[in-house]
Structure 1
Amino acid sequence: MLSLRAVNQFYGTSHILWDLDLELTPGECTCIIGAPGMGKTTLVNCITGYLPVQSGSITWLEAGQPPRDLLTQPIEGRTALGISYVAQDRRMFCQLSVEANLQIARLATQASSRSIPGMVYELFPELYSLRHVRGAELSGELQQQLLLARALMTEPKLLILDEPTLGSGQRFISELGNTIRRMSRDFGLTILLVEQRLSFIRRVADRFCVLHRGRNVAQGNVALLDDKLLSSWIDP
């Protein structure tokens, strides 16, 4: 699905990502974990095109298709390929209704139909009853649901989530875990998750990657993500 090789990125003279390698497998959820300031969001922004890459390669791979150099694609080109991103901040059209927010996201696709994909309201049934309510009138957790639903409107192949549990209560986090598992296991979405909650990671992720000072220092099956490994790279 996505292959990163020897990716380097700088902010001015500060070297942020160091020869980073990462492989995302179709239909799996991979979690990026690390202490604050270790390069997690920078990595996401390099994949989505919001930040340039100094050197290295990011390759988009689909069965039956030739490899695509992602670094030659603008942000909108990456969306067209099948990459969708939910950032930490709640970027939405607050004065527009839930349904209008979803329809605007649909316009970013090349789909002939402007209808809302069935999986959206299937995964987020609460939004259907609130479809005529303005985004600003939703609770914080419902706004997060709307952002996730809006990301699905482009019918992505890769969904990137940057700390989706941030500021949420335990009930919502539990429901979000169920939703992410369904997206990857029932709908076949590949998911790249940036997250700090270990219990959540162990529940929803298939694989992990630990970033430390911009380097990929550990990765593998999530079953290997034990306290000893974490204490080696992340401050308690």
Structure 2
Amino acid sequence: MMELTVTGLHASHGRTPALFGVDLSITEGGSCCVLGRNGVGKTSLMNAIMGVLPTREGTVTLDGRDITRMPPWERVRLGLGYIPQERTGFAHLTVAENLRVVLETRPGAKRSDVDDVLDLFPRLKPLLKRAAGFLSGGQRQQLAIARALLTKPKILLLDEPTEGIQPSIVAEIEEAIVAFHDRDGLGILLAEQYVEMALRMAERYIVLEAGQVVSAGATAELSAEDAGKLLAI
């Protein structure tokens, strides 16, 4: 079973420190949410784990293998998937082309893999010939998640997947991620301000404040008072 471990992680944006000694771990099939206000380091943590943001100190290991200095695409090949906050994709390509580009980069991929992710996001099916740049925010997010799932990750990182999305689409996204988690044993590391959803989806949580972990534990063991404090973040 694959395990992602972050130990004593420090990272900076240029000369501006962003993370200070962050520790966390998640196993394939497990789930953890990263909570905190805007600007506390949630995105920096995700980017550092994926190699988008260089690490100053500390280590990131995957199945005991040190990947701290490994480029992002190698981390993807080893089993990490990432859905950044920006909902990246190829705006000039159609939905179908965006999916096919990802599929063709994975050895052993099958056309049925596309059908599987489209079953999770049926709203995308009538939009396959539409350029991704003309999708709504919720549709772009569903496409971003579908693209990430096509890489067949063992552990998936999601950075604020519900930001700016209407509630009905948020519910569909949550349902799809949970379905993949339950069916394929996908590990989930979720950075999210929508605390109610994050706590529903995750077995464990950490709270960041000014780039440091100030609280961590099992979501099932949260008292009503503690849950109230988290909901007020």
TM-score if structure 1 supplies the norm length?
0.89
Which residue identity is paired with 2:13? Answer: Y
1:177–1:203 Cα contact (<8 Å) kept: no
Aligned twin of 1:64: none
Spell out the pairing of 1:182-193 with structure 2 (5 A cutoff).
182-193=179-190
CA distance in 1, matches of 2:126, 2:230: 45
Q: Deviations over 1:82-104 (max 9, x none)?
A: 11111111322222111100011
* Amino acid across the alignment from 2:104: L
**Equivalent residue, structure 1, for 2:89:** 92
Q: 1:17 & 1:135 partners in 2: Cα distance?
A: 33
**2:140 is the counterpart of 1:130:** no
Task: Say whether 1:17 aligns with 2:3.
Answer: no
> Shift in Å at residue 230 of structure 1?
6.3
> 1:47–1:108: structure 2 CA closer, same or farther, 3 Å change rule?
farther
Match of 2:160 among 160, 163, 184: 163
Judge conservation of contact 2:19–2:45 (CA < 8 Å) in 1: yes
1:46 aligns with 2:48: yes
1:69 corresponds to: 66
Cα distance, 1:72 vs structure 2: 3.1
Aligned length: 230
Q: Aligned to 2:184, what secondary structure does the other structure show?
A: coil
Q: How does 1:210-221 map to 2 (within 5 A)?
A: 210-221=207-218
The alpha-carbon distance between structure 1 residues 24 and 113, as it changes in their structure 2 partners (threshold 3 A), is closer
- TM-superposed deviation, 1:167: 0.6
Q: Distance in 1 between matches of 2:142 and 2:93?
A: 15
Corresponding letter in the other structure for 1:27 = G
Unmatched 5+ residue regions in structure 1?
62-66
1:106 aligns with 2:108: no
For residues 133 and 12 of structure 1, what CA distance do their matches in structure 2 show?
39
Instruction: Find out whether 1:115 has 2:117 as its counterpart.
Output: no
Tell me which residue corresponds to 1:81. 78
1:2 corresponding residue in structure 2: 4
Does 2:177 correspond to 1:175? no
Deviations 1:86-124 (A, max 9, x none): 111132222211110001122332x13452514312211
Tell me if the contact between 2:196 and 2:231 (Cα under 8 Å) persists in the aligned partners.
Answer: no
Q: Distance in 2 between matches of 1:214 and 1:121?
A: 37
Taking the aligned partners of 1:175 and 1:159, their CA distance within structure 2 comes to 17
- 1:58 Cα deviation (Å)? 0.8
Structure 2 unmatched ranges of 5 or more:
none
Contact 2:195 2:230 survives alignment (8 Å): no
SS of equivalent residue, structure 2 residue 124: helix
Equivalent AA in structure 1 for residue 211 of structure 2? G
Q: Percent identity?
A: 35
Q: Which moved more, 1:200-209 or 1:145-154?
A: 200-209
Does structure 1 conserve the Cα–Cα contact (< 8 Å) formed by 2:33 and 2:199?
no
Could you say which residue in structure 2 is the equivalent of 1:34? 36
Call closer, same or farther: CA 1:234–1:199 in 2, change over 3 Å. Answer: closer
TM-score with structure 2 setting the length: 0.90
